[in-house]
Amino acid sequence: MNLKMSLPEYLDNASTTPVDSRVKEAMLPYFDEIFGNASSNHIYGKQAKEAVEKARKQVASIINADADEIIFTSGATEAINLGIKGYWESHREKGNHIVTVKTEHKAVLETCKYLETLGVEVTYLGVDENGLISIDELGESIRPDTILISVMYVNNEIGVIQDIPKIGEIARENDMAFFCDATQAIGKIPVDVVNDNIDMLCMSAHKFNGPKGVGALYLKRGIDISPQIHGGGQEKGLRGGTYSTPLIVGMGESARIALEGSDSRGASMRHERDKWATYFEDEGLGVVNFKNTSTAPHILSIQLSQDAEDFLMANASKIAASTGSACNTAIVEPSHVLKTVGKEAGKTIRISF
């Protein structure tokens, strides 16, 4: 007898989201019916290529970009490496200084640390108690040899939203590029690369009900970068390798769904966030962090009255949540984000919708 296990309520969507049934349906034909290599010139390849280009338009639409500004990758981590490393390699004769933030995702921080081993100078901006950078400090950190600013849109652990349009404006005024990790923003809040003054942006499909293993780099037309994966010349020569057509199709469909249902999705996430915030505070379990700043609707940071791991273990049959980024689970150390904002990491949980 096959008994279905009773599962706890899933509250870890900032780590990953389930694939939408419409996304799965859109992907299925590209595994066995329309299986050609999108780089081939025969009819099988052309069918796959058409699907890739349709998905490119769909992904571009969710950020108000043009289709030819979308470079498909395996996810946001690869897009970050391609964008930041690739930009430095193409512009190091112009300067050797990058500005980023101490609370960035590890993919950005580790990329910057690697570049430091090659002689790049990196300024890591601090944040205030609300997780926000100082715009004045950003301006003061810019030097004649600064070529790139990298600031994330929505923090993946605490959900705070940086003043992205202003940061992009500062980069533009100083003739430098602005890279934005928008992984937690896409599908949750409006993102417009034109109004936000963004030159490069990364995203992952699995954060907005698409499949794992596919993402994209938005690369503003006219921005030059060097490839990090060399091969057959796919993606304008910036990302060699055979197209994973099913995954790309899935990302396109998830972007379409997220864009068309953005208002209802946002309202639903805010409702869930408010419900759980009220529960934790009314029950005396903890207090909501970052009430006085703008946060994305899908992430709620709670400062508990007890140890976070003990709480999650005791309630494992009821809820599935986390103490921070899923990308940090192999690192036995306190969250760098919570430490920087002055929160007690051992008593803080993130629930996300």
Annotated active-site positions, please?
Answer: 327
Token digits for 290?
A: 């970052």
- By CB atoms closer than 10 A (0-12, 13-18, 19+), residue 56 is buried
Alpha-carbon distance 203 to 114, whole Å?
21
Token digits for 201?
A: 């942006």
The total of other beta-carbon atoms located within 10 Å of residue 29's CB is 15
Alpha-carbon distance 155 to 172, whole Å?
23
Nearby residues of 173 by Cβ (< 8 Å), 6 or more positions away: none
Token digits for 238?
A: 């910036």
The full length of the chain comes to 353
Nearby residues of 136 by Cβ (< 8 Å), 6 or more positions away: none
Alpha-carbon distance 304 to 338, whole Å?
13
Q: Please, what is the Cα angle at 23 between 26 and 245, to 5 degrees?
A: 55
Tell me the HSE value of 266 on the side-chain side, using a 13 A CA sphere. Answer: 13
Long-range contacts at 33-41 (CB < 8 A, ≥ 24 apart): 34/245, 37/242, 37/243, 38/242, 38/243, 38/245, 39/232, 39/234, 39/242, 39/243
Q: Which amino acid, 115?
A: L
Adjacent-strand bridge partners of 155: none
Helices (H), the chain: 21-27, 29-32, 43-61, 76-91, 106-117, 135-141, 164-173, 245-260, 262-282, 308-314, 336-341
